[in-house]
Structure 1
């Protein structure tokens, strides 16, 4: 009889000890684990701004009694705009896993040059009409600029509304009809003459230019605002 009582006491003590080694994570802690799981799997450019939005917990949510740390799992190979994170832990009061699925939305923005006010076609880009702002990547189609210096003095080919990103295809370093400086360079010779651009061009574009001294049409490479170069 004594042995039976001792055996029952041992079982009771062991069960009580097992039940006492648990922790109860709150909703904020669970959300932080989901957020960290997404961050660890993300790959973005250094100048990106990342905002994570985690779904709100239902008012009826009851925190679990976890006997082991919460684990996270993202089934998708790459992080997308909308992601689902599976969170689980071993329960101290049940013989099955506690599991919850949380939605984590990701917004990625990049700092680019935008119009600080409406810029009309043909207007020069200056510090007074442009600024740097973070723009959602879904609104960027390529050809944007990340520094004000890279577009200062260029002209717009079409109207840019306030807040719109300044795009390469919408500006010209040399615009059709502009007076340009033509530089002709060789190993031992440097010549500068005047010309007229017959086509719009951005940096490194090859455009047709009329030499105003000889009236010849030549091909020259755009090297700066109002400047082209011919290799001799």
Structure 2
């Protein structure tokens, strides 16, 4: 008994490693990297907590093909047996975009498994595929995941919620813009492409923002939403304005007096200075109104 006690004490405090085994998944798709736990990456193990922790952190930070030899070199313990010999770790978003044939103008903005799991893990001979009929357009969709094993003739289905974004050309605030700032030139703005699930919220050309004013403060770098702007009056009652009358084959230019204020694209009453007639014309900019015949 004294001998056994001495042996156990020696093994516990010496550098002699006890043989142990670690079983891993053959392929791991990371859905939520911040929510990973040991059981998400290590299928089974009878090794020490230190060995398991080293393997867990290596897999958590690694991407691509990871061999058991690489893990053993990291663990620094030749008595550990790791199976399988090759593990593939990939971000699930990348897999799904590739599987659903996303082009460069589409991107997954966010996703989550209905089960809440932070990974999709496969064993040998399992294959993962996905389908999503609604993922061709921006917005919220649900994709179907199929995990099949042809050798065992099994099929497992999972569902995942996806927010799909499309590439949109937007205008961002070049600096903090206070409320009621008038947008008359693009010096306040920076142009940039972003991915958004609601492209209609943003102006795609400067002409959509010109002669509008910010109705609530916009922080530097924030995209300008159309709902955060409103048109302001570019002409006032009593001001002189150029009037262009256009038809299919003629264009006549005259001058008039605004009888009311108005913003771009608004119809206002104008008095022709030559004929003294009063008519309605649409404001084009701060100097021009148009009549389409």
The alignment's TM-score, normalised by the length of structure 1, stands at 0.59
- Runs (4+) off by over 6 Å: none
Matched, 1:181 2:242: yes
Structure holding more strand per residue: 2
Q: After the TM superposition, which residues 111-130 of structure 1 pair with which residues of structure 2 at under 5 Å, given as runs? A: 111-116=169-174, 117-121=176-180, 123-130=182-189
Hey, what's the Cα distance between the residues in 1 that align with 2:278 and 2:178? Answer: 32
Query: How far did residue 196 of structure 1 move?
Result: 1.6
SS in 1 for 2:186: coil
Q: Contact 1:91 / 1:97 at 8 angstroms: preserved in 2?
A: yes
Moved more, 212-221 or 57-66: 57-66
Hey, what's the Cα distance between the residues in 2 that align with 1:230 and 1:61? Answer: 63
Q: Quote the residue 2:257 is aligned against.
A: 195
Q: 1:160 to 1:97 in 2, by over 3 A?
A: same
Q: Contact 1:195 / 1:210 at 8 angstroms: preserved in 2?
A: yes
Could you report, residue by residue, the CA deviation over 1:169-225 in whole angstroms, capped at 9, with x for unpaired residues?
Answer: 71258445464211245766733213226253434x543223356554211133444
Q: Contact 1:220 / 1:230 at 8 angstroms: preserved in 2?
A: yes
Could you report, residue by residue, the CA deviation over 1:103-141 in whole angstroms, capped at 9, with x for unpaired residues?
Answer: 252242533234443254373432222233537444x66
Superposed CA RMSD in Å reads 4.2
SS in 1 for 2:97: helix
Match for residue 145 of structure 1 among 194, 198, 203: 203
Query: How far did residue 227 of structure 1 move?
Result: 0.9
SS in 1 for 2:206: coil
SS in 2 for 1:128: helix
Match for residue 132 of structure 1 among 191, 199, 204: 191
Q: Quote the residue 1:227 is aligned against.
A: 288
Query: How far did residue 66 of structure 1 move?
Result: 1.3
SS in 1 for 2:269: strand
* Equivalenced residues, count: 195
Matched, 1:170 2:226: no
Q: Contact 1:112 / 1:135 at 8 angstroms: preserved in 2?
A: no
Query: How far did residue 146 of structure 1 move?
Result: 1.0
Could you report, residue by residue, the CA deviation over 1:61-108 in whole angstroms, capped at 9, with x for unpaired residues?
Answer: 7531217x543344xx4235242332222254xx34153525252242
Q: After the TM superposition, which residues 37-116 of structure 1 pair with which residues of structure 2 at under 5 Å, given as runs? A: 37-39=99-101, 50-55=107-112, 63-66=122-125, 69-74=127-132, 77-79=133-135, 80-92=139-151, 95-99=152-156, 101=158, 103-108=160-165, 110-116=168-174
Q: Contact 1:180 / 1:197 at 8 angstroms: preserved in 2?
A: no
Hey, what's the Cα distance between the residues in 2 that align with 1:166 and 1:212? Answer: 37
Hey, what's the Cα distance between the residues in 1 that align with 2:244 and 2:118? Answer: 72
SS in 1 for 2:205: coil
Instruction: Point out where structure 1 has 5 or more consecutive residues left out of the alignment.
Output: 1-22
Hey, what's the Cα distance between the residues in 2 that align with 1:150 and 1:61? Answer: 44
